[in-house]
Amino acid sequence: MWGDMAATLSLVIVSLAGLALVVFDAFNNRHVATPWIAGLALLAGFIFEIVGLGGPEGTAYSDMLRTGGSAAFVNALVLGSGVLTVILSVPYLKKIGHNIGEVYALILFATVGMLVLGAANNLIAVFVGLETMSICLYILTGFVRSESGSAESALKYFLLGAFSTGFFLYGIALLYGATGTMDFSAMKAGVEDGGGVMFWGGVSLLLVGFLFKVSAAPFHMWTPDAYQGAPTPIAGFMATASKTAAFGALIIILYKALPTERWTDVLAVFAVITMVVGNIIALSQQNVKRMLAYSSIAHAGYVLVGLSSGLVEGYSGALFYLMVYVIMNIGAFGVVALLEWDGKEGSEQTLDSLAGVGYRKPLLGWAMVVFMFSLSGFPPLAGFLGKWAVFAPAVDAGLVWLAIIGVLASAVSAYYYLRVLVVMFMKTETEASSKLADSFTIPRSSAAVIVLCVILLFVFGLTTSVIELTDGFFQSGSVATVLGP
Does 218 interact with another protein (rule: CB under 8 A)? no
Judged by CB under 8 A, the number of residues near another protein is 41
CA 160 distance to own-chain centroid: 18
Would you count residue 273 as binding another protein (CB under 8 A)? no
Subset of residues 155 to 194 that bind another protein, contact rule: CB under 8 A? 155-156, 158-159, 162-163, 165-166, 169-170, 172-174, 176-177, 180-182
Residue closer to another protein (CB basis): 128 or 452: 128
Q: How far is the CB of 238 from another protein (least distance, A)?
A: 15
- Shortest separation between residue 161's beta carbon and another protein, angstroms: 9
CB of 297 to another protein, least distance (A): 13
Smallest gap from Cβ 172 to another protein, in A, equals 7
Instruction: Give the residues across from 472 on adjacent strands.
Output: none
Q: Output the CA–CA distances (angstroms, integers) from residue 181 to 127, 173, 270, 358, in the order listed.
A: 14, 10, 28, 56
Q: How far is the CB of 63 from another protein (least distance, A)?
A: 12
* Spatial contact of 218 and 89, defined as CB atoms under 8 Å apart: no
HSE-up (13 A, CA, CB side) for residue 282: 32
Cα of first residue to Cα of last residue in the chain, in angstroms, is 32
Contact between 313 and another protein per CB under 8 A: no
Nearest to 330 by CA among 94, 78, 130: 78
Q: Of 68, 69, 82, 149, which one interacts with another protein (CB under 8 A)?
A: 149
Q: Does 210 bind another protein (CB under 8 A)?
A: no
18 binds another protein (CB under 8 A): no
Q: Is 431 exposed, middle or buried (0-12, 13-18, 19+ CB in 10 A)?
A: exposed
- Stretches 8-16, 93-101, 127-135, 417-425: which one binds another protein (CB under 8 A)? 127-135
Burial class (CB in 10 A: 0-12, 13-18, 19+), 339: buried
Taking CB under 8 A as the rule, does residue 154 contact another protein?
Answer: yes
Phi-psi region of 181 (alpha: psi -120 to 50; beta: other; left: phi over 0): beta
Select the residue interacting with another protein from 46, 92, 104, 138 (CB under 8 A). 138
State in angstroms the smallest separation of the CB of 69 from another protein: 24
Distance from C-alpha of 70 to C-alpha of 318, rounded to nearest angstrom: 11
Question: How many Å apart are CA 379 and CA 373, to the nearest integer?
Answer: 8
298 touching another protein, by CB under 8 A: no
Q: Does 224 bind another protein (CB under 8 A)?
A: yes
Nearer Cβ to another protein (168/371): 168
**In whole angstroms, what is the distance from residue 2 CA to residue 61 CA?**
10
Cβ of residue 168: shortest distance to another protein, in angstroms?
A: 9
- When the beta carbons of 38 and 205 are compared against another protein, the nearer one is 205
Out of 4, 152, 342, 396, the residue judged to bind another protein by CB under 8 A: 152
Residue 425 touching another protein (CB under 8 A)? no
x/- mask, another protein, residues 331-350, rule CB under 8 A, reads: ----------------x---
CB of 428 to another protein, least distance (A): 29
Q: Which is nearer to another protein, 212 or 325 (CB)?
A: 212
What does the binding site for another protein look like in residue numbers (CB under 8 A)?
A: 123-124, 127-128, 131, 135, 138-139, 142, 145-146, 148-149, 151-156, 158-159, 162-163, 165-166, 169-170, 172-174, 176-177, 180-182, 224-225, 228-229, 281, 347
